Amino acid sequence: MGRWNSRWRGIRGCEKQTEWEEIRAVTVGVKKHFETKRVVIDKCSAVFGGLESLVDVGGGTGTVAKAIADAFPSMECTVLDLPHVVAGSEGSKNLKYIGGDMFEVVPPADAILLKWILHDWNDEECVKILRRCKEAITSNDKKGKVMIIEMIVQNQKEDDKESIETQLFFDILIMVLVTGKERNEKQWAKLFFDAGFSDYKITHILGLSSLIEVYP
């Protein structure tokens, strides 16, 4: 229990915050770590080839979308997030912001990017989000793809205690914060097929994170 106790003490290190605020702060920090140029651009640059448009769903203030727009100036990039999140955000020649609800509609594009989004939601909610994404990439007779950056829980070797503990820690953290969970490949595949997709491809990119390309 020593390592688990030390991890939770690290989360609860600030006495002036509520437990929710402390855990949320850690989660936001972890997400920002994975939303770096190294992960999305340097590790995934090949998947953007040939794309004319992309929507970053739940993209916040556009940290990653800006990096993509700068790296691929001919691509039209859009950040979709709640109106109060994108309010005041300044776009550029090939970057714009749209306030909206991913459960209602996702703007049409060649590709949809979901980075560290779906693990916040339960299976039913994920299927709803994915169906909206499928509608977006198949409008006007197009067949694009959905790109997902998430952890894929693996069956680790018995002696790989650090990886097992880290995966369990993230899973518990997500369950504490929201209704979601970390998923293994079988669980991810079920979501994709339930949402009407026909195929997917997984590429390991960094640490415990992977890129999943999902096709209609």
- For residue 199, which of 181, 177, 214 has the smallest C-alpha distance? 214
Structure-token pair, residue 125: 């909610």
Expressed in angstroms, the distance from the first to the final Cα of the chain is: 45
Active site includes 119? yes
Catalytic residue, from 33, 84, 119, 204: name it: 119
Identify the H or E element spanning 210.
strand 209-215
- Residues with Cβ within 8 Å of 114's Cβ and at least 6 positions away in sequence, in order, are 57, 58, 129, 133, 146, 147, 148, 149, 150
Q: How far apart are CA 24 and CA 4, in angstroms?
A: 18
Structure-token pair, residue 47: 């998947």
Active site (catalytic) residues: 119
